[in-house]
A and B are shown apart, each in its own frame.
Chain A
Amino acid sequence: MITWFPIVVTFVVAGVIVLVMTSASRMFGPRSPHTRIKGEAFECGNPPSGPAWGRFSVRFYLTAILFLIFDVEVVLLIPWGVEIRRLGVFGLVDALIFITVLIVGLIYAWQRGAFDWD
């Protein structure tokens, strides 16, 4: 049982912090009248609801594709970095070939104007 004690403490501390913060803001904070906007869910400044078929700029799609290049690069290079000593020169050459192929994709996207936002 004693092993679970730290978790109980965590919950208690979390509860106390929440309680202190909400009651402090209730006691010391200014009061403004309730409005419709205030009642809406907070979504980082965006309107919280709208039609489901929202339209996005097609440029986001390009951004996602470009992200993919670097994403795949990282996914493969991190395991290579972990095993770099065992793989030796062979692994280094392999990784260079792999990076070259990705760079070709990057140059292609660049030259086709994928980085120009306008």
Chain B
Amino acid sequence: MNHFNPGALDILWLPLVPLIVVAVGAVVVLLAGVRVSDDDSEGLGWIALAFLGAALLFTLPLIGQSSSTAFAGAIAIDNYAAYFEITVILTAAVTVLMSLEYAPDFRLAGAEYYSLLLFAALGMMLMAAAGDLIVIFLGLETMSIAVYVLSGLMRQDPRSNEAAMKYFVLGAFSTGFLLYGIALVYGATDTIKLGPIAAALAGAKGGSPLLLAGLGLLLVGFGFKVAAVPFHMWTPDVYEGAPTPVTAFMAVGIKLGAFAAFLRIFLVYFGAAATHWNQVLWVIAALTMTTGNLVALVQGNIKRMLAYSAIAHAGYVLVGMTAAGAQAGSAVLFYLLAYAFTNLGAFSVVAALERRGERRDAIADYRGLALSHPGLAALMVVFLLSLTGVPPLAGFVGKFYVFSAALNAGYVWLTIIAVLNSVVSAYYYLSVVVVMYMTEGEARPIAVQAQPGMVAALALSLIGTVMIGVYPGPYMGAASSAFKSALSHTQVSSRQLKLRG
């Protein structure tokens, strides 16, 4: 009888400490908040923030470590994981700041709200650090189940109920696709570890229908989570119905988590076999950008408009993925960081204007905002310009890197489509600016209370958006070192394969 040997698992706790801190934080918030009434949840938010801060501190020592794995390859230790973990923690922190006044005002159940937020962040971080398909699946489910509940937390609001129901049913369905894909890939290659799967894909059996069908199903599963076009139907309804900070968290965090795993599988590990999948991604990218931007043109609700804009931005990321290669990989990572701050900012402004019983989320509600709330209007302009891609803001640099990577890889037509789409998007982003600044104000001024949390969220997003745009060098450096560190896993594993062969 062979004895189970925990030593063979190469247990390394250090890379897991940030995740454990976030998980413990979620539990602490849940238990601390059990007796806290819904309109008094600010303290719980601060506890959540403290744990996120601690997690951030514990992520820092992971930067710059040489790429390795732990737990028999289930957890990857590299700059790539650290990059996404830091971005996810910042996203969660900005979301918490945004909610400090919003959650009590809308009577969101505090204990559940902050705890689920942390659990979702945990799932995203796990997806970023995952080294095999099962851990990716675990992370995806941890993230998704928490967010299904979060989107329905406004229990008295039928739109919120609809959002939760739609997201849950469609999300469960797409999880089925992903899981079936994992099963087929396992069936074809006899492993769930990404390295050997990539080797099989690049090897003689690479064209096996079973493996390719598995890849296709994985693509569908991730396509749903990042809201790529044939799988985007849920996005506007869910984004509109969910509480606005949750919408921000979904638009940014879920994309970060899903893209972290998506990119690691396809771009990093399957990059050498890109011919198997990038034609499909070409089509999905073109469809996603075009549909997102065209439908956004006719939206009358700002959250729906931002939802379609989020779809379009997923399309730009997919352009970078289609290009494949190290340059495209770094560009895409950088783009996701720029997108995170910009979108968090835009949703913060939307959340700042909402009050209980008055969901001011029609674009018409923004009439005359420049007069009633000049500061918020100006911030909104900055974020919308960054989403459009106007220099010197983060969105511009991100698009510049992604599109030039696509051009260098020879995808001229795809780049042309992407640039045309950016031009189209300027129309609906700028029309919000027009509504705010150039129409007669009938916007009911709202009592501006002291909202330190919201101010902090807006300030962080603004700093991120402007700083990344003006001085992109260090962030691009971080993105490219992150991508390279992930790539070095594949080189190690192919070297090992050669040695064995």
Check A17 for interface membership: any CB of B closer than 8 A.
Answer: no
CB pair A104 B31 closer than 8 Å: yes
CB pair B4 A104 closer than 8 Å: no
CB pair A112 B34 closer than 8 Å: yes
Q: How far is the CB of A68 from chain B (nearest CB, A)?
A: 13
B residues 14-63 touching A (CB-CB < 8 Å): 27, 30-31, 34-35
CB pair B30 A108 closer than 8 Å: yes
Bound-state CA distance A90–B4 (Å) is 10
Chain A, 77-118, contact with B by CB distance < 8 Å: what is the 0/1 string? 000000100111011000000000100100110011000000
Bound-state CA distance A74–B16 (Å) is 27
Q: Which of B4, B6, B35 contacts A111 (CB 8 A)?
A: B35
Check B3 for interface membership: any CB of A closer than 8 A.
Answer: yes
Bound-state CA distance A111–B109 (Å) is 14
- Find chain B residues with CB under 8 A from A104 CB: 27, 30-31
Q: How far is the CB of A91 from chain B (nearest CB, A)?
A: 8
Q: How far is the CB of A109 from chain B (nearest CB, A)?
A: 10
Bound-state CA distance A90–B27 (Å) is 23
CB pair A111 B34 closer than 8 Å: yes
Check B1 for interface membership: any CB of A closer than 8 A.
Answer: yes
- Find chain B residues with CB under 8 A from A112 CB: 34
> Closest residue of chain B to A94, judged by CB?
B6
Q: Which of A88, A101, A107 contacts B4 (CB 8 A)?
A: A88
Task: Determine the interface band of chain B, counting residues with CB < 8 A from chain A.
Answer: 10 to 19
Bound-state CA distance A105–B80 (Å) is 33
- Find chain B residues with CB under 8 A from A108 CB: 30-31, 34, 111
Q: How far is the CB of B75 from chain A (nearest CB, A)?
A: 16
Q: How far is the CB of A104 from chain B (nearest CB, A)?
A: 5
Q: How far is the CB of B299 from chain A (nearest CB, A)?
A: 36
Q: Which of A83, A90, A107 contacts B6 (CB 8 A)?
A: A90
Bound-state CA distance A112–B6 (Å) is 38
CB pair A86 B6 closer than 8 Å: no
- Find chain B residues with CB under 8 A from A87 CB: 4
Bound-state CA distance A86–B2 (Å) is 9
- Find chain A residues with CB under 8 A from B30 CB: 104, 108
> Closest residue of chain B to A101, judged by CB?
B27
Q: How far is the CB of B126 from chain A (nearest CB, A)?
A: 15
> Closest residue of chain B to A107, judged by CB?
B31
Most buried by B among A87, A91, A101, A111: A111
- Find chain B residues with CB under 8 A from A83 CB: 4
Chain A, 55-68, contact with B by CB distance < 8 Å: what is the 0/1 string? 00000000000000
- Find chain B residues with CB under 8 A from A111 CB: 31, 34-35
B residues 70-99 touching A (CB-CB < 8 Å): none
Bound-state CA distance A87–B2 (Å) is 11
Bound-state CA distance A112–B35 (Å) is 8
> Closest residue of chain A to B3, judged by CB?
A86
Q: How far is the CB of A95 from chain B (nearest CB, A)?
A: 14
Chain A, 38-75, contact with B by CB distance < 8 Å: what is the 0/1 string? 00000000000000000000000000000000000000
> Closest residue of chain B to A113, judged by CB?
B34
- Find chain B residues with CB under 8 A from A107 CB: 31, 34
Bound-state CA distance A87–B30 (Å) is 31
CB pair A86 B34 closer than 8 Å: no
Q: How far is the CB of B86 from chain A (nearest CB, A)?
A: 26
Q: How far is the CB of B393 from chain A (nearest CB, A)?
A: 43
Q: Which of B4, B27, B35 contacts A86 (CB 8 A)?
A: B4
- Find chain A residues with CB under 8 A from B35 CB: 111
> Closest residue of chain A to B30, judged by CB?
A108
Q: How far is the CB of B165 from chain A (nearest CB, A)?
A: 15
Q: How far is the CB of A76 from chain B (nearest CB, A)?
A: 15
Bound-state CA distance A76–B259 (Å) is 32
Bound-state CA distance A112–B34 (Å) is 6
The 11 sampled A-B contact pairs (Cβ below 8 Å) are A83-B4, A86-B3, A86-B4, A90-B4, A91-B4, A101-B27, A104-B31, A108-B30, A108-B34, A111-B34, A111-B35
Point out residues on A near B: beta carbons under 8 Å.
Answer: 83, 86-88, 90-91, 101, 104, 107-108, 111-112
**New A-B contacts (9) at CB < 8 Å, excluding given A90-B4, A108-B34:** A83-B4, A86-B3, A101-B27, A104-B27, A104-B31, A107-B34, A108-B30, A111-B34, A111-B35
Q: What are the 5 closest A-B residue pairs judged by CB atoms, nearest first?
A: A111-B34, A90-B6, A86-B4, A104-B27, A108-B30
